[in-house]
């Protein structure tokens, strides 16, 4: 913050809140879910709570896993303005380890689409957040699975199984007689992230220019095919 002339946003603030909420969880026995964890110390607190047997779960966003404050330069790319903010490279690595060992249960996107004028402005007044829905899968495959930090089983658990479990939704069953709710993807297909890559009207991605592996080819929701061969199907098809 000193180098770039920005207001500071200390990691300690997040860590104190996590610690307080874990204390309340311990007192009440109420399940606790930590959203958008961004620091290594925060992950350590969650890890300790789980070892204690407390009903604590946590999630992390790809931008906190694969970007850091070092990516923010004097060009002031407002697509890197997040809430929580990007932390240190050491925090990012610690969060990757927390995903790998199951301390962090879920990968979420914090998908935050914004109009161009809400981002193409001074850092101070730009909106928080970036889009993440269309890059989350290739980012995880490229940076976690292909580097042998996470198996495909672990990937599916973090991006599909655990979120449903935490939200107390019925598990998806792939069997005759059940409606299809699943995503098919090609893990070997390479893609370059450009503004034209996105189906979203918003283009405020923090990963423009990245070359990644893994593309969702088909998506089924409630028995309807809403993405067919990488093309969105308005209204879906049965």
Residues marked active site are found at 110
For 45, the token pair is 């607190």
**Nearest 10 degrees: CA dihedral of 141, 146, 150, 153?**
70
* DSSP conformation letters of 13-57: HHHHHHHHHHHHHHHH---EEE-S---HHHHHHHHHHHHTT--EE
Q: What's the CA gap between 62 and 118, in Å, rounded?
A: 22
Q: What's the CA gap between 216 and 86, in Å, rounded?
A: 27
- Burial tier of 39 (Cβ tally within 10 Å: 0-12, 13-18, 19+): buried
- Give, in order, the Cα–Cα distances in Å from 125 to each of 70, 76, 118: 21, 12, 8
CB 32 within 8 A of CB 9: no
Helix (H) or strand (E) holding 221, with range, is: strand 211-221
Q: DSSP code of 158?
A: I
- Peptide bond connecting 22 to the previous residue in cis, omega within 30 degrees of 0: no
CB 68 within 8 A of CB 92: yes
């Amino acid at each position: 913050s000193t180098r770039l002339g920005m207001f500071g946003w200390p990691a300690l603030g997040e860590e104190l809140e996590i610690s307080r909420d874990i204390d309340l969880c311990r007192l009440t026995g109420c399940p606790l879910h930590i959203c958008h964890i961004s620091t290594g110390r925060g992950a350590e607190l969650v890890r300790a709570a789980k070892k204690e047997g407390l009903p604590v779960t946590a999630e992390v966003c790809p931008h906190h896993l694969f970007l850091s404050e070092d990516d923010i330069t004097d060009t002031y790319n407002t697509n890197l303005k997040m809430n929580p903010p990007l932390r240190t490279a050491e925090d990012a690595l610690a969060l990757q380890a927390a995903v790998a060992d199951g301390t962090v249960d879920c990968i979420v996107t914090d998908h935050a689409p914004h109009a161009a004028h809400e981002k193409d402005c001074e850092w101070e007044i730009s909106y928080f957040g970036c889009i993440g829905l269309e890059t989350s899968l290739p980012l995880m495959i490229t940076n976690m699975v292909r580097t042998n930090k996470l198996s495909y089983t672990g990937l599916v658990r973090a991006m599909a199984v655990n979120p449903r479990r935490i939200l107390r939704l019925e598990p998806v069953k792939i069997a005759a007689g059940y409606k299809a709710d699943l995503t098919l993807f090609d893990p070997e297909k390479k893609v370059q992230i450009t503004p034209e890559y996105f189906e979203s009207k918003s283009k405020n991605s923090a990963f423009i220019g990245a070359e990644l592996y893994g593309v969702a080819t088909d998506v089924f929701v409630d028995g309807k095919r809403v993405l067919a061969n990488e093309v969105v199907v308005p209204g879906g098809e049965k």
